[in-house]
C-alpha cells in the first residue's frame, strides 16, 4: 500500500509542473529577425530568403546584435513600403504580447485562444529566444484541451498519444485518481451504516439511493463541465464568481422544481407510499440546488488556489454529491416519515 499511497499523494498537483507543459517545449527556435539599422530593401531580401512555404507570419521581430527584442514590424508594412532606404527602426512598433519559456501551458492557453495570435515572441530577460508560430500555438491549445478532457474524466493526462500508450501506462495514469475517488466514496458506506436503523425500518428508502445521488451528480456535472471549459478559453474568470453563482443558483431552482415533480411521479408509480414519495421529491430539490452551489464554487476556488480547475471532473462532483446527498436524504426522511421520528 505504501507505493499506491505515495503515488496518489504525488499525482494530482505534481503532474501540473511537468516540463513538457511549458512554453519552452513548444517554441520554435527558427526565427527571422531584423536589425533596427536595416534598410527596408535589405530587410525585404533577408525575409524573403528565409520565409517558410507553409508558415508566413504576419509579424517579424526586430532585435539588436545581442538578441534583445526591440520591436515588431508587420510583413505587410515591410512589403508595401515605397521607400527602399527607410530604416526598420523608424517603422517598427513596440512589442505588445510576449511569453516566457518557463510559463505553463495552461496559464497562457486561455489568452492565446481568445486572441487568435499569429506569432508570439518568447522572451527571457528581454532577449528573444524563440517564437510560437500558428502551428505551435495550435499544438499548445490542442494539447491543453486534450489534457483538460482527460482531467475531466478523472484521469491524469497521458504523456504520449492514446494509441501509443500501453495498458500499463494507462493503468498508472488512471489508478491514482480511481483510488482517490474510491477512498472518498468509501464514506458513503459508513453513512449508510449510520442510517442502518432507518433503512431497516423503511427499506423502500434504499430503492431511491442511486436515482437521487445520480441526479445530483448529473446536474453538478452539467455545471462544472460548462464552467471549466469557459474558464479554459478565457471567457470566465475569478472576477465573475458573483455572476456565476447568481446564474447557477437561479437555474438550479428552476431545474430542481422540474426534477422534484418528476421524482414525485416516479415514487408514486413505484407504490412506496406518500411519505417516501414526499421525501424523494424534497431530496431531489435539495440535492439539485446543493449540487449547483458546490459545482459553481469549487472550480473557482481551485483556480484561486492555482490548481487546474479541470480536475473538478464529473467523477469528482459525483463522489462529493454521493456522500453529502445521502446525509441530506436521510435527514429529510427522519423529518418527514413519522415511523422514523
What part of residues 177-206 is at the interface with a copy of itself (CB under 8 A)? 177-179, 181-182, 185-186, 188-190, 192-193, 196, 199-200, 203-204, 206
Q: How far is the CB of 222 from a copy of itself (least distance, A)?
A: 4
In 3D space, the residue among 286, 294, 299, 285 whose CA is nearest the CA of residue 319 turns out to be 294
**Residue 296: other Cβ atoms inside 10 A:** 24
State which of positions 86-145 bind a copy of itself (CB under 8 A): 113, 116, 118, 134-135, 138-139, 141-142, 145
Within positions 12 to 51, which residues make up the interface with a copy of itself, using CB under 8 A? 48-49, 51
Q: Which of 22, 33, 63, 215 binds a copy of itself (CB under 8 A)?
A: 215
Euclidean distance between CA atoms 161 and 171, whole angstroms:
15
Helix (H, G, I), strand (E, B) or coil at 48: helix
**Which residues, numbered 263-302, are part of the site for a copy of itself (CB under 8 A)?**
263, 266, 270
Q: Give the one residue of 29, 65, 167, 338 binding a copy of itself; rule: CB under 8 A.
A: 167
Interface residue with a copy of itself, options 11, 226, 297, 340 (CB under 8 A): 226
Interface mask toward a copy of itself for 55-84; x: CB under 8 A: xxxx---------------xxxx-xx----
Binding residue for a copy of itself, selected from 46, 86, 124, 247, defined by CB under 8 A:
247
Terminal Cα-to-Cα distance of the chain (whole angstroms): 43
**Which CB atom, from 4 or from 335, has the smaller least distance to a copy of itself?**
4
By CB under 8 A, which span of 14-22, 34-42, 96-104, 176-184 interacts with a copy of itself?
176-184
Instruction: Tell me the site size for a copy of itself, rule CB under 8 A.
Output: 111
Q: Which helix (H) or strand (E) holds 231?
A: helix 209-232
* Closer residue to a copy of itself (CB): 127 or 194: 194
CB of 247 to a copy of itself, least distance (A): 6
The yes or no reply on residue 52 touching a copy of itself (CB under 8 A) is yes
Give the long-range contacts of residues 77-85, CB within 8 A, separation 24 or more.
Answer: 78/40, 78/43, 78/44, 78/47, 79/44, 81/40, 83/40, 84/39, 84/40, 84/41, 84/44, 85/39, 85/40, 85/41
304-323 burial string, b = 16+ CB within 10 Å, else e? Answer: eeeebbbbbbbbbbbbbbbb
Cell numbers placing 280:
424523494
Amino acid at each position: 500500500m505504501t507505493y499506491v499511497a505515495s503515488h496518489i499523494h504525488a499525482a494530482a498537483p505534481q503532474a501540473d509542473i511537468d516540463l513538457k507543459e511549458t512554453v519552452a517545449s513548444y517554441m520554435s527556435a527558427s526565427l527571422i529577425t531584423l536589425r533596427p539599422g536595416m534598410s527596408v530593401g535589405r530587410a525585404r531580401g533577408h525575409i524573403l530568403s528565409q520565409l517558410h512555404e507553409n508558415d508566413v507570419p504576419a509579424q517579424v521581430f526586430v532585435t539588436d546584435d545581442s538578441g534583445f527584442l526591440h520591436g515588431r514590424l508587420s510583413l505587410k508594412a515591410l512589403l508595401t513600403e515605397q521607400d527602399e532606404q527607410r530604416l526598420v527602426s523608424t517603422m517598427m512598433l513596440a512589442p505588445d504580447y510576449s511569453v516566457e519559456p518557463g510559463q505553463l501551458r495552461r496559464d497562457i492557453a486561455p489568452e492565446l485562444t481568445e486572441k487568435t495570435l499569429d506569432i508570439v515572441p518568447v522572451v527571457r530577460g528581454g532577449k528573444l529566444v524563440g517564437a510560437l508560430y500558428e502551428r505551435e500555438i495550435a499544438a499548445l491549445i490542442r494539447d491543453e484541451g486534450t489534457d483538460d478532457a482527460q482531467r475531466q474524466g478523472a484521469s491524469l493526462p497521458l504523456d504520449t498519444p492514446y494509441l501509443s500508450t500501453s495498458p500499463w501506462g494507462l493503468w498508472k495514469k488512471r489508478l491514482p485518481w480511481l483510488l482517490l475517488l474510491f477512498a472518498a466514496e468509501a464514506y458513503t458506506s459508513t453513512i449508510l451504516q449510520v442510517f442502518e436503523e432507518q433503512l431497516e425500518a423503511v427499506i423502500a428508502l434504499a430503492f431511491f439511493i442511486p436515482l437521487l445521488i445520480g441526479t445530483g451528480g448529473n446536474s453538478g456535472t452539467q455545471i462544472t463541465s460548462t464552467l471549466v471549459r469557459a474558464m479554459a478559453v478565457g471567457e470566465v474568470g475569478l472576477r465573475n464568481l458573483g455572476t456565476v453563482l447568481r446564474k447557477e443558483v437561479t437555474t438550479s431552482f428552476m431545474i430542481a422544481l422540474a426534477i422534484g415533480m418528476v421524482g414525485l411521479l416516479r415514487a408514486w408509480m413505484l407504490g412506496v407510499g406518500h411519505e417516501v414519495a414526499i421525501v424523494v421529491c424534497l431530496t431531489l430539490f435539495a440535492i439539485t440546488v446543493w449540487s449547483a452551489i458546490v459545482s459553481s464554487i469549487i472550480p473557482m476556488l481551485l483556480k484561486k488556489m492555482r490548481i487546474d480547475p479541470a480536475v473538478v471532473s464529473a467523477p469528482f462532483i459525483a463522489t462529493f454529491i454521493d456522500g453529502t446527498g445521502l446525509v441530506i436524504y436521510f435527514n429529510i426522511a427522519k423529518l418527514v416519515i413519522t415511523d422514523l421520528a
